[in-house]
Amino acid sequence: MAHLKCQLICLAFLLHLLNVQVACGPSKRIINGFNATAKQFPYQVFMDRYVNYFWYANCGGTIISSKWILTAAHCIVDNAEAFNIYLGAVDKSNASEPGQQQLLVKRSQVIVHPEYDAVRVLNDLALIRLPAELHFSAYIQPARLPDPKHLHGNENGLVSGWGVTDIQHPTSSNILQYYDVRILSLDDCTTLLHTLSPAMFVPQTFICLKPSGSTPCFGDSGGPLAKRNPDGSSTLLGVTSFRLDSTCQLNMPAIYTRVSSYLSWIKSHIDAPDC
């Protein structure tokens, strides 16, 4: 935890120099979202982390195969010893709800992107290898990986998570929340971020959402930005990474890591043969 605190102090100092405040960290909930229903987001997972004999609410993630979950690197890089993964859940406080499963994953089963940069919040991805192969059902399904050539600018999407719904009472939601979003083009994303922070580096690996009446907040980190396909399946477009304020203001953009930029790295692990 001391290492994480040091990283966050360094990050805060640098962002002060750049006149921008980034809010990420292992806890991000959706403000002004809607309650999800059973089977609506079968690819969505939630993670608690185990640190020094205590469990803490942590982050979201996305099922991308029967053995792998994709989440944000910043959800992983403290001294957590293990993670409890909720699958098929809507009310994560109700372990007996239909379809819900929980899996314990050791820290050794997590792969953080080798070029993750906590200061500039770049390459903010991590893979979690599950201890057993999932048996898919109406409650538990993977999201598809995106087309590497499609940037999805000016398209609609869905954001979901169990993060904070009221910044004045910042506790993790028990009920999965979601809202509809509009994805900005890369040019519009760059223009918006430079308006807020002229010195900010905006790579193609970022996805910006158009500010609206809802927004992700603390506890939604690592969770999915997805789109619904005509056949009822979903495609994962982004992973919740950070935002430019610490109070989850509705007029501030949320930033996602663009999954299509990392397909080679993702597939090099999930397609590798079991040892």
Q: What are phi and psi of 188, to 5 degrees?
A: -65, -35
Task: State the number of CA atoms in the 13 A half-sphere of 267 facing the CB.
Answer: 11
More confident residue, 28 or 270: 270
Does the structure show a pLDDT above 60 at 97?
yes
Does the structure show a pLDDT above 60 at 27?
no
| Tens digits of residue pLDDT in 146-186 | 999 888 999 999 999 998 777 676 677 899 999 999 999 99
Does the structure show a pLDDT above 70 at 31?
no
How large is the average pLDDT for residues 30-47? Answer: 91
Q: Which active-site residues does the annotation give?
A: 74, 124, 221
Q: pTM to 2 decimals? A: 0.86
Residues 6+ apart with CB under 8 A from 224: 41, 43, 44, 60, 61, 62, 143, 158, 159, 160, 236, 237, 238, 239, 240
